[in-house]
Structure 1
Amino acid sequence: MDQPKAPEAHHDAGHAVEAGLYREAMSRLVAAVHVITTHGAEGRAGFTATAVASVSDSPPTLLVCLNRRIRSAPAFRHAGRFAVNMLAAEQQAVAEAFGGRGGLEGEQRFGVGQWHEGALGLPCLTGAVAVFHCRLVEARTIATHDVLVGRVEAVTLGPDRAKLAYLGRGFLTV
């Protein structure tokens, strides 16, 4: 019986993987959608992220990847604290606003969704599935992004309902 042929690998030992191929492969990864927020001397800032991961539960620590090219990037390093708002399925408009769709910038983005001040004085999305209130313990620059490592100082659980996810360059409900 014939064995199925393995897909051809696209690589060359002497060269890095081409960015477009990498992005296409990553678009096939289902990821939870979050809005990361902070509040510092520059005011409130936020961005949409799928690159969020648990680092440890003892002590509770997570990481967020932040593209250094976005306008609000410096605010996250300077504020020293951030909130990770895990979005419910019906909060897609919030994800789009903080992801740059619709032309809203800075403080204007907080006009989408209902926001309140949470632990550590951070902007928290009312109705989020969960909010992790973090103090920045390390920031490391890797390629085009800053990897922000945060010690979770408080968690707020919202209603346990359908979550917003991202796959194939589009939103879906899980």
Structure 2
Amino acid sequence: MLTKQPFPDSAAPGDAVLDPLQFREGMSRVAAAVHVVTTEGPGGRAGFTATAVTPVTDSPASLLVCVNTASRSAQALLKNGVFCVNALNAADEAVADAFAGRAALKGQDRFTIGRWETLRTGSPVLASGLVAFDCRLAEARIIATHHVIIGEIVGIRLGEKRPALVYQNRLYHAL
């Protein structure tokens, strides 16, 4: 189900207006795990790199993912109703770049980087990932420019314990 939530276009009288560039700079200083979110189904095979991923609850197990509404991958995910959140290991930088649009690859060609498998939903699972959370779409809302997507986890594949890929100060780091 997709609902649009109200979001103020401007500050209330007397409120300071937040500078979006300052917000982005501030968020760049926060270290975040790097994920590739993938989907496959009637809307096609697609994926995107995301740091805006967080657990919601463990019963039922669920995750929250944010993605720009203009993204073709977001539209495919919503149509497919399933997705997989792949947490990347430090050696998966090329995968992160491919799905972030930093490589000369688009659409299906992004899946030529890395080795891909599937779990219950059929969404692509990165074999080298630290963990993969196979999800069924539970809820999606539009907040300003982004879809806030909640997925109920229907399967988990644990990968090897390796250093994680994180993003901070606009650079990848191993942790």
User: Do both share a fold (TM > 0.5)?
Assistant: yes
What is the deviation of 1:99?
0.2
Report sequence identity in percent: 47
What is the deviation of 1:132?
0.2
Residues 94-141 of structure 1: per-residue CA shift (max 9 Å, x gap):
000000001211000000111112221110001110000000010000
Coordinate RMSD, CA, aligned: 1.2
* Map of 1:44 onto structure 2: 45
Aligned partners of 1:20, 1:57: CA distance in 2, in Å? 35
* Map of 2:123 onto structure 1: 122
Q: Which amino acid aligns with 2:53?
A: V
Instruction: Report SS of the residue matched to 2:45.
Output: strand
Q: Size of the alignment, in residue pairs?
A: 163
Aligned partners of 1:63, 1:13: CA distance in 2, in Å? 33
Q: Which amino acid aligns with 2:174?
A: T
What is the deviation of 1:13?
4.9
- 1:162 matches 2:163: yes
Q: Which amino acid aligns with 1:74?
A: Q
- 1:139 matches 2:140: yes
What is the deviation of 1:15?
3.5
- 1:110 matches 2:120: no
Aligned partners of 1:152, 1:73: CA distance in 2, in Å? 18
TM-score (norm 1): 0.91
Distance 1:160 1:17, change over 3 A: same
Aligned partners of 2:71, 2:101: CA distance in 1, in Å? 10
Alignment of 1:38-117 (within 5 A): 38-117=39-118
Instruction: Report SS of the residue matched to 2:72.
Output: coil
Indicate conservation of the 8 Å contact 2:43/2:77, yes or no.
no
Alignment of 1:146-157 (within 5 A): 146-157=147-158
Instruction: Report SS of the residue matched to 1:96.
Output: helix
Task: Detail structure 1 runs of 4+ shifted over 3 Å in the superposition.
Answer: none
Residues 55-96 of structure 1: per-residue CA shift (max 9 Å, x gap):
001110110001112222210111101000000000000000
Residues 10-34 of structure 1: per-residue CA shift (max 9 Å, x gap):
xx95243111000000000000000
Instruction: Report SS of the residue matched to 2:75.
Output: helix
Instruction: Report SS of the residue matched to 1:154.
Output: strand
Aligned partners of 1:105, 1:125: CA distance in 2, in Å? 17
Q: Which amino acid aligns with 1:20?
A: L
Q: RCO greater where, 1 or 2, for CA within 8 Å and sep 6 or more?
A: 2
TM-score (norm 2): 0.90
Q: Which amino acid aligns with 2:21?
A: G
Gaps of 5+ in 1: 1-11
